[in-house]
Structure 1
Amino acid sequence: MSYNKQKARENGDKMKTRITDLSHDGRGIGQVDGKIIFVQGAYPGEEVEVKITKTKKNYLEGRATEILKKSADRIESVCPDFYHCNGCQYCDYTYQAQLDSKVARLKTNLKKFAGLEVEDIKIHPMENYKNYRNHVQLKVKDGKIGYVDKENFSVFEAKACLVWPEKTPELIEVLKTLPDLDRINLIGLRENYKGDLMVILVSKDEKKIKIEDQLADLKALGVSHIYQNINSNPRFHYGRKSKVLYGDGPFKEEILKNTFNLSPTSFFQVNRTQAEVLYKIGIENLDLKSTDKVLELYSGIGTISMGLAKEAAYVLGIEYNPEAVKDAKTNAKLNGLDNLDFKSGRAEDLLDKVSSDFNKTLLDPARAGADKKVLEKILEIAPEKISYISCDPATLCRDLGILIKDGSYKVDKVEIVDMFPLSSHVETIALIQKM
């Protein structure tokens, strides 16, 4: 098939392609006249008719308009809003196929970025994933509270979201009656391990949002805390300043039998069940002894730190966000742990001031992975074992390549925990050991 770049730009231009793989964001990958095309709404093994939506120098983007040959793994969508919601990628793909695609993606990245051929990769599924999210953000516009339509970017009210907290529909109906709804840009909902709910009302200005008439109905649904968060920057969900509108004491969360105080903007894994699996593996990788000293990088509010401290002699957590460090110190006291400490700052800066007697290391960086200077410093400290938790297989494998490059370390095993069923996100744990 001849590819005409100018024609592809024209509205309505269509062509056929065969899908051979999936991209990191869940789009089908095919080829048109030797050029890669990323196709929304298509799966491996399918032949599809595609409408071109974007042309680049080295690739194309498109949307499947007709499935000419269907994958055996394509199913009826389990969500009525799937085809216009921008949240999930795999609502019409079998769960086993989702898991297989994540394993295949990790294998490809290991070979591409770390030069490793790994055949045996264990994945920990979540068969019962209904309502698995304990934290969602809902957009507010023109009196509607819901998600953003991926086609026209309007706000739509979801009919039956599979992954949000169970009481979300009832909460939305009450929140739609708030007299100051037109001042609210976004609403955050958090649910803790006891089923208590937190509501976060995000506004640009600091004028107090009125909730008095809705408070009784919200409390009846299990709402224990309501905050007003002030945020004028649309690039972020939340701003730095929050005010209590209702609720006494802290909002508590629990994981690995440790208790945590959560503020409205605290980071906490959205899938509590699978986070427990993830953290247990991350800790078990280190095979901790009562004499071990553990260096934890990107430690957040200390969710993993507490588990490490219960088995090791001493834990030092390094975290960039000073508010997270403050929460971590509070959480350590809350759990009666005094053999750990936290420092605020960039890991690449603070590691120069850290002693070299840490014999085990755990790191859980953001999607961008660890800074190269951090990895080089870890190699200088030379711990016996390194447990690396990652939310991006590509940056994990890039970093593994750096850690094993000089031959002093080897990758012992790599596992996946399916933290985000129905989505293309992959959460991975690697164990790296001294040779």
Structure 2
Amino acid sequence: MARKKRVKGNAKAKEKFMQVFAEVRWKHRFDAEPKCQHFEKCGGCTLQQHSYEQQIDIKKQALERLVKETPGMSSLAKLELEAISSERDYKYRQRMDFIVTPEGSGQRRCDGQQGVVELEECALIENENYAIYAKTLDLSREFSIEAYDQKNYTGCLRYIIIRRTRTGEQLVSLLTTSSADDAKMEQIAQALLAEGVNSVYWNVNDNRVDDSLGECRKFWGQEFIQETLLGRDFILGPLTFFQANHEVASAAYSSVRDFIKECKARQIHDLYSGTCTMPVIFGDLVDSVTAVENFPENVRMAGKNLEANKISNVNLIEQDVAEFLQQEDLAMEFSVLNPPRKGMHEQALRRILELAPANLAYLSCSPRSLLEDLGILFREYKPVKIQLFDMFPQTEHFETLVLLTKKER
């Protein structure tokens, strides 16, 4: 009989996590006053009525219960779950995307109504970040840059994206349709540079799909801004993926680094490598790293990060992970897995079982897809540690790191 193909990221699994999270949450009484005036309407952060200590308890209990109730996770359920909190429970995000519509600009509503909340503040970003967003929005209206209408596909300005590093450098990206006026965009950019913004990008997206990504039409000021993480330098552009919470990301990457040291690994495969953040952080521990990433912009920025940190032992490969793993002569000792929210392709998971690296470090932003993938990996691996990293205070989101080692036969 043919094996039934597993459906990844199914709606029932997602509903299960949200159900568990909601049930755990409502067992905790509200013990804090929301700090943001938009709390009841804005969908940006929904846990403000819980103190931060209580938020950590809710997330930890929800993950523990989900692990316990998921078939095949008994070995994981036996491990003590360590929860790492954030140094900042507010103003921790270094990037925020603000949607622009004819009805207003800000974040989407969460109160059951359609539309956008016109923000007068945002508690998740630093004051300087919000001030530049507000200034950019005012400039767009001053120069009559018409807001994009997602329903009728008319208008121009779709998103204002603000990025600020812990060192204080700021990048503003305006996403428009191709109908934007060059002269007006020039005036807006120059005004922002005069306000102290380091980098201004004009990106274009004519697709009808609601997306904050676009192709660069022009930039002003610095081409990139720079962030420092665990003593390494990282180059950031408008499309660069970088963890939103600097301090918690440092803790997560340090755990991966410590595991590599403990295992005395010499060759690492970093799958879904992004901009090579982790290879830059642990590259000095090993002989070589093979970093695999298929998003062109990430690959371009990864090369710049390797160059900025003078790292020469990383082999950067632009290829889909599932395709890369099909090489016949491939050998793996230790693999770092950090896939997107939907998790790993089943073909890639089964190929890892065949290649049988001695140890794995799996960092995930989705407990649902993580447990789905572990259901396959546990056929040949056993978990040795699980950690919850609260990358996103005031929200239901978090990252989970599971460290695995090959079963003895």
TM bucket normalised to smaller: 0.7 to 0.9
Tell me the distance in 1 between the aligned counterparts of 2:329 and 2:230.
Answer: 29
Q: Is the 8 A contact 2:20 2:62 kept in 1?
A: no
Distance 1:222 1:270, change over 3 A: farther
Deviation at 1:98, TM superposition (A): 1.5
Deviation at 1:314, TM superposition (A): 0.3
Give the aligned partner of residue 73 of structure 2. 115
Match of 1:345 among 301, 319, 325: 319
Q: Which structure has greater helix proportion?
A: 2
Match of 1:223 among 166, 172, 197: 197
Match of 2:221 among 247, 253, 264: 247
Distance 1:215 1:359, change over 3 A: closer
Give the aligned partner of residue 382 of structure 1. 356
Match of 1:192 among 146, 165, 174: 165
Give the aligned partner of residue 127 of structure 2. 166
Give the aligned partner of residue 66 of structure 1. none
Give the aligned partner of residue 288 of structure 2. 314
Q: Is the 8 A contact 1:144 1:156 kept in 2?
A: yes
Tell me the distance in 1 between the aligned counterparts of 2:198 and 2:37.
Answer: 31
Match of 1:411 among 383, 398, 402: 383
Bigger RCO (CA 8 Å, 6+ sep): 2
Tell me the distance in 2 between the aligned counterparts of 1:428 and 1:300.
Answer: 18
Match of 2:139 among 177, 186, 204: 177
Counterparts in 2 of 1:32-431, with a 5 A limit?
43-45=25-27, 71-111=28-68, 112-116=70-74, 117-118=77-78, 120-142=80-102, 144-150=104-110, 151-175=112-136, 176-178=138-140, 179-182=143-146, 183-205=156-178, 207=180, 208=182, 210-211=184-185, 213-214=187-188, 218-219=192-193, 221-287=195-261, 292-353=266-327, 355-405=329-379, 408-431=380-403
Distance 1:118 1:221, change over 3 A: farther
Amino acid aligned to 1:200: S
Tell me the distance in 2 between the aligned counterparts of 1:78 and 1:327.
Answer: 36
Q: Is the 8 A contact 1:145 1:172 kept in 2?
A: no
Distance 1:72 1:152, change over 3 A: closer
Give the aligned partner of residue 28 of structure 1. 22
Deviation at 1:244, TM superposition (A): 2.8
Match of 1:432 among 383, 392, 404: 404
Q: Which structure has greater strand proportion?
A: 1
Q: Which of the pair has more CA radius of gyration?
A: 1
Q: Is the 8 A contact 2:158 2:212 kept in 1?
A: no
CA RMSD of aligned residues (A): 2.5
Deviation at 1:142, TM superposition (A): 3.4
Amino acid aligned to 1:181: I
Distance 1:215 1:409, change over 3 A: closer
Q: Name the SS for the 2:18 alignment partner.
A: coil
Amino acid aligned to 1:310: D
Bigger mean CA deviation after superposition, 252-261 or 382-391: 252-261
Tell me the distance in 2 between the aligned counterparts of 1:26 and 1:163.
Answer: 25
Q: Name the SS for the 1:304 alignment partner.
A: helix
Distance 1:338 1:387, change over 3 A: same
Amino acid aligned to 1:301: T
Q: TM-score, normalised by structure 1?
A: 0.79
Give the aligned partner of residue 62 of structure 1. none
Distance 1:170 1:180, change over 3 A: same
Q: Name the SS for the 2:198 alignment partner.
A: strand
Counterparts in 2 of 1:6-25, with a 5 A limit?
23-24=17-18
Tell me the distance in 2 between the aligned counterparts of 1:173 and 1:359.
Answer: 50
Q: Name the SS for the 1:283 alignment partner.
A: helix
Tell me the distance in 1 between the aligned counterparts of 2:217 and 2:397.
Answer: 33
Deviation at 1:74, TM superposition (A): 3.9
Deviation at 1:222, TM superposition (A): 3.1
Bigger mean CA deviation after superposition, 370-379 or 412-421: 370-379
Tell me the distance in 2 between the aligned counterparts of 1:243 and 1:113.
Answer: 50
Deviation at 1:317, TM superposition (A): 0.9
Distance 1:26 1:131, change over 3 A: farther
Q: Is the 8 A contact 1:107 1:119 kept in 2?
A: no
Unaligned runs of 5+ in 2: 1-14, 147-155
Q: Is the 8 A contact 2:158 2:176 kept in 1?
A: yes
Deviation at 1:335, TM superposition (A): 1.2
Give the aligned partner of residue 35 of structure 1. none
Amino acid aligned to 1:121: L
Q: Name the SS for the 2:252 alignment partner.
A: helix
Distance 1:174 1:159, change over 3 A: closer
Unaligned runs of 5+ in 1: 1-20, 30-41, 46-70
Deviation at 1:123, TM superposition (A): 0.4
